[in-house]
Chain A
Amino acid sequence: MKPTDTDSVDWRSESRSAPDVTTRERLREVYDDRIRTPLLVAWADWRTRLGFLIIGGYLTMALVAILGLWREPSTNQAPRYLMLFENMNYPLGTTASGTDLAALIVHSTPDILLMITAGAVWATAVAVVIGTVAGYKGGSVDRALMSFSDLVMAIPGLPLVIILAVTLNPENPILLGVVINISYWAGLGRSLRSQVLTIRENDYVEASRTMGVSTPRIILKDIIPNLMPYVTVNFVFAARYVMFASVGLYFLGVLPYSTQNWGVTLNFAYSGGALFSWSAAHWLLAPMVAIMGLSLGLILLSQGLDRVFNPRVRTRMSGESSSTAGDDDADVTEVL
């Protein structure tokens, strides 16, 4: 890849007349601009790399569970209270009822991944729509949307989920994810709105407005890109909240026990007295490590992706090799 190729990815491509650019070149530009550069920026950061690896690990676990490469968990399938790595057939040991812990962890993964994705997508999508429209439009639209958010936000999250869970008995992981995050968007939407209030005062937004650009276009092109760092980070927070809340609620025993879940394992371990005897500590630790690992992967990924979606960082990065990423950071700090 010649350096000149990447150099041409800039404003000029917009103003150049069409016959000069072949479809092939155009595709290449799109590829460079939208895929290659962001990936380079992302990969340059150790956090993204580690995050990708961890998430990849969990996806592999999910795949293993779906393809049935590891045995299903069932009681009395192994000797009771095997310790970690005591018997390599059951690497994570077994529970009081002789269930393979590795099987429990692996077979919980697909449902958990589905659940947290559903919950996070739901929460961020609704929040972005409500937050940007309310913040940008202002006036009565803002008031109506914010009153609605206030109402939703005024309902305490976990207690509402508990009551909904008892009422609806959601067994589908996707539905469960949405139920857990049913009111999460309200707070996020509100803080997005407060960001939009600041962004919409910017010169370029005013310029777009004066030029008669339509509102949806301004929101899409001028406002949302500026929110992206915030949105990606909060997407991960929403996902993490689903996981923490679901595991916590399973732990309390208020969610229906139909799906296999790390929280259920944690609950059984806790009530089985795993906290007080070393011979069963692994029973408690395995689901904890699973939860924290996934959460760690998500957060690392979001931290790294912050750079991809942060327009300021990206502009500086585009066209440069990944090795300069570290040096660029110095510029930012120099300012203060």
Chain B
Amino acid sequence: MSWKRNAGWLSVLLIFLSGCATVALNAGFDEVSVAVAERGAGKIVWNSGTDLDKEAAEKVSSLLKGGLTADEAVQIALLNNRDLQAIYSDLGIAQADLVQAGLFQNPVFDAAVLFPVSGGRPDLDLSVVMNFLDVFYVPLRKRVATARFEETKLKVAGAVLDFARQVRTAFYLHQANEQMLELRRTVVQTLTASLELARRLHEAGNITDLDFARERALTEAARLELRTAEMAERQSREQLNALMGVWGKNTEWRTGGRLPDIPAQTTAGDDLERLALSRSLDLSIARQRIIAAGEQLGFNRATALIPEPTLGPLGEREEGWEAGPTVELSIPLFDRGQARIARALTELRRARQEYYGLAVRIRSVARAVQDRMSGSRDRALYYRDILVPLRERIVNEAQLQYNAMQLSPFELLRAKEQQIETAAAYIEALRDYWLARTDFAHILNGRLPGLDGGGARSEEGRMKMNGREAH
């Protein structure tokens, strides 16, 4: 084998191996984008200093101008939240890993110069060695990295969906807080009127200091509750500001009206568990983990007993130039790869168990979320159709009784207050429904919403409603 021939063969191989190995910055994002859009979460853009960025910014500012809906808030957050942009970078990293996996190890150039003690011309020992089995290993490594890349894409899509859920939940909580604030204001208005009436009676000498003080205590307590409601409203607004990534003037957005009414029943029915499983991104991720683990195992098996030979041309000048190939082999004497194989095998087993465990969890969460949704739907409807009209009827009847001077004006105002408290309880029930519905959509979009029940349900309103007695 002549030197020349060897060198020519090698250079062709090197060029071939390095030819396709470039990193695409937006790799995988389009797929993620499609997956997210398919699941109704909205449009996503990866800010990359292109015209698209400008378009997105314009979209955000135009959306912020109108009264926001939940969908719009989600869209703004998807386009404008920088933390989410940061998550997209995972795609680039995974893609880079994939490219990395496809690269051959660089050849090693080895040069040695030996100076004879006796003097004379130094001996030159030159070699270029490379791990020639890379030719076989690269596809294996690429398979592992591809599986990981797929996993990353799914993970990023999942993160986007999780984020969208978070925004939607925060939006509903805020919308409910706004309405609650409005109701608290009306309660204060009612009790202030009641207090004013009591003040007039007290002034005229018709009621005792005791009764007046009692009336005042009710009103002052309501005023304190109003402060709490104001604070809650500001807090939830701030949370949305952070999620939507807005600051400065852009925080002057407003919501477009009230919590939507209960829509017609959405039933996934008996199919729910199957749908939840088939659409589960989490399961797909787990599946990719199994695949990656499997590929890793295959790779480890393939490389376990095979020494890592390096092969290269060696040129040596002792007397004159001598040339020949050089081969290095590790002898699988101590490490026969058994540990690496066992590890990969265990990882695979773990991935499999996790997959099945996840599937069971998804079924359970799907059932639980569906139950939560239909339960909160029933509650909200019960308030809307039974209790709220009943409280209204009570106010009307109390007004009639007041007209006939059978009922004191304080009792009439108390009836009004109880009507408002019932409206507040209805808002809470409606909010809980929308939170449950968000989670239900989330699980059908392939993500686990967790069993925390979305937003914490407030027992406060109901307790107040039951606890406050007309006096």
Query: A and B: partners?
Result: no
